[in-house]
Chain A
């Protein structure tokens, strides 16, 4: 009897989900939807060989910046860079002022209880075997899934064996 009830509950849940046409996973704050076709507010913390900041021209470059640019392009978005220290970037992600942050951050980062941390990508050019991660607002799971899927399909993936 209770088993039947549980199965019915699950079936009902599945029907509701498919009926609403919700894509899973979804962002509680809708970041991916807002970014797509709009502006990706990215934060950068300088890191040798991964993120370079030119102070005179105020531009961000390097392999990680290219990754962010590529991801934004794939969503039809343009990137608006903010350069700051890692802690300031984490603060901004928490307060919803940034959508994404990069720097010389690896999967051993201690920030993981304040922001979402992607899987490590040791294949990123210039990573030098480090398992490089990107930081996102906590629990924006659609954004994280889209970004990780983009990185899994990146052209440099599989070329460079660590």
Chain B
């Protein structure tokens, strides 16, 4: 459906990004299929363990970022219009926010549920099933299912983590990060079930609390990152670790122009592309239109992400674009 996507808004994607996007879409669909299978498998054995139930709901929640990624892709490919002059790139950020808030809310309610269960001293019950004429404790089947499904997230987690920086896609990056840490959830649910097995009923609630705390943490990180970008924070790298280096490169490019005395930039992250406002103080109090246009197209030539560029001649650089970043 999205396999022939070659542009995002006004941005024509270079071949590397086109390939990465196709690969990302394939991995997202694979994740959805894999997760549906694990949800169905866990449903067969979920039983009375709070840790299993929490891990199960986490699996369902992990579908939200996948689906919001696919929906956002359908939206952001549209070209800017009179009604949406910046394009529809923010759809990715909205999807990111929705996923983050969902994780935060449901993770929080699961944490409270686990905590109440622990405080009330609720002993989890796990019975048996009759399988091929044998009576088997359901806990063994839970451990078996969780041991089998633990492998998947390693594959798609690492694959997406490689693709996300190429596309500068924070939804994909956060999703990969969660998938890579997913084994802790699986191991915790196994520990919880084995805890019930040896009669340490509280281990199940403790494991559930651990898993739900992980969901809350993921939700907080995702929601925070999405909100900061939607509030037009200075554009940062895909992992939010540092200000994006493109801003400095643009400033250097402008300063190297003979007609420019001073330059600075205001750059915001629209989703996977940036919106750039570059300010220049011309040397002789005047500037030729052709030079501004040349500078603009040189900036656009730096990177596929910076196609929406305006170069503004000013008398003095705006205060907020100069100096060091204040927290």
Q: Which residues of chain A have a CB within 8 Å of any CB of chain B?
A: 2-3, 6, 9-10, 13, 17, 20, 22, 24-30, 116-119, 137-142, 144-145, 148-149, 152-153
Contacts and interface: CB of A to CB of B under 8 A. Distances in A.
Interface residues of B, number: 27
> Dominant SS at the B interface?
mixed
Contacts of A20: 198
Which 3 A/B pairs are nearest by Cβ-Cβ distance? A139-B123, A26-B199, A24-B197
A124 to B, nearest CB: 15
Interface of B: 48, 122-130, 135, 137, 139-140, 154, 183-184, 187, 190-191, 194, 196-201
Contacts of A3: 154, 183
B139 A24 contact: yes
Nearest to B184: A6
A20 B191 CA distance: 17
A153 B128 CA distance: 13
B187 A148 contact: no
A26 B197 contact: yes
A152 B128 CA distance: 10
Contact of B194 (A13, A117, A138): A13
A158 B128 CA distance: 18
A108 to B, nearest CB: 16
B127 A141 contact: yes
B125 A138 contact: yes
Contacts of B126: 25, 141
Given A6-B187, A9-B187, A28-B123, A141 B135 contact: no
14 contacts: A22-B198, A22-B199, A24-B140, A24-B197, A25-B199, A119-B129, A138-B122, A139-B48, A139-B123, A139-B201, A141-B199, A142-B199, A145-B127, A152-B130
A17 B193 CA distance: 13
Contact of B198 (A6, A17, A139): A17
Contacts of B130: 119, 152
A27 B200 CA distance: 9
A28 B199 contact: yes
A86 to B, nearest CB: 18
B128 A119 contact: yes
Contacts of B198: 17, 20, 22, 24-26
Contacts of A2: 183
Given A116-B125, A116-B127, A144-B127, A24 B137 contact: yes
A145 B128 contact: yes
Nearest to B204: A139
A137 B140 CA distance: 21
